[in-house]
Amino acid sequence: MYLTIVSAARFLVEHSDEPVTLHDLADHVGYSPFHVARSFERYVGMPPGQFLAAHRFQRAKQMLLAGEDKVIDICNAVGFSSVGTFTTRFVKVVGLSPTDFRRLPHTLADHQPRPVSVRGPQTDGTVITGAVHLSPAARTSVGPSPAVYVGLFRRRAAHGVPVAGTLMGPEGYFILMDVPPGAFWLLVSVLASRADAPGQLVPVTQVVGAASRPVLVPERPVSLVRDVSVDVAPDWFAPVLVALPPLAAV
């Protein structure tokens, strides 16, 4: 079934600028819409519609940085019919408006990301520590002294501002503080330190990782330890949409 889901994911990526429906996807892989939707979310971590939207927003990010096209033209080019809906959803998953995102290369030119910790909203909340382990392929891809972003998200996707996050320092481990109760996904994105602004904001190759299961944070604050393994993601993988460098550019 895994290869079927990969085929489904590639189909969505290749047709992300078209009005693709769940029935189109089901016809492509030869399964019922219900079976495809359920299996896709189990393997990929999100429903097909959300996956399709993620690639549309990633394309929009690329277009915003590549030229001076109007937001409404980019909206239409990536498959959205309403610029209002596009902008609202863009802010939700990226963390910035399309106009503010377009300005980021200038911001990063003056304020390069540096190690920082974004605390959670729970005063004296749970503390999560751990290490990030890069595969040989990941190390080759990002080179020496990469930027390692670690964040807790409410869903299995790096969309929107994390509940808590950090840009790791050279010591090689992370600490997330004041984490509130709940179930969260611990996700990691690694960027090459030598990358220019577009390379940091829309990397061609994704180097990512996730904890194998959600982190369950109890009501009473505790200390938890979770390590994460990171590797080069396949080209069809769901993109990291949240604009990470601005969170650490101070």
Give the pLDDT band of residue 190 (cuts 50, 70, 90). very high
Residues with Cβ within 8 Å of residue 116, at least 6 apart in sequence: 166, 167, 247, 248, 250
Higher pLDDT, 46 or 119: 46
Q: Do 152 and 108 touch, CB atoms closer than 8 A?
A: no
**Residue found by looking up tokens 């990291």 in the block:** 240
Provide DSSP, 181-240: SEEEEEEEEEE-TT--HHHHHS-SS-EEEE-SS-EEE-SS--EEE--EEEEEPPTTSPP-
3-state secondary structure 123-185: CCCEEEEEEEEECHHHHHHHCCCCEEEEEEECCCCCCCCCCEEEECCCCCEEEEEEECCEEEE
Q: Do 185 and 211 touch, CB atoms closer than 8 A?
A: yes
pLDDT in tens, 141-167: 988 888 899 999 988 888 888 898 888
**Residue ranges with strand state E in 2-146:** 116-118, 126-134
CA 193, CA 157: separation in Å to the nearest integer? 23
Q: Per-domain residue ranges for the chain? A: 2-102, 110-248
Half-sphere exposure of 6 (CA within 13 A, CB side): 6
By C-alpha distance, which of 67, 52, 65 is closest to 19?
Answer: 52
Architecture of domain 2-102: Orthogonal Bundle (1.10)
Q: Confirm whether 2-102 and 110-248 share one CATH topology.
A: no
pLDDT at 37 over 80: yes
By C-alpha distance, which of 223, 250, 227, 238 is closest to 167?
Answer: 250
Q: Under CATH, what is the fold of the domain 110-248?
A: Immunoglobulin-like (2.60.40)
**Residue found by looking up tokens 């890069």 in the block:** 134
pLDDT at 248 over 60: no
pLDDT at 107 over 90: no
Instruction: Report how far Cα 148 is from the mean position of its chain's Cα atoms.
Output: 13
pLDDT at 247 over 70: no
Q: Do 210 and 68 touch, CB atoms closer than 8 A?
A: no
CA 223, CA 143: separation in Å to the nearest integer? 32
Question: Rounded to two decimals, what is the model's pTM?
Answer: 0.87
**What local confidence, expressed as pLDDT, does residue 112 receive?**
64
The two most distant CA atoms of the chain are separated, in Å, by: 52
pLDDT in tens, 47-97: 999 999 999 999 999 999 988 889 999 999 998 889 999 999 999 999 889
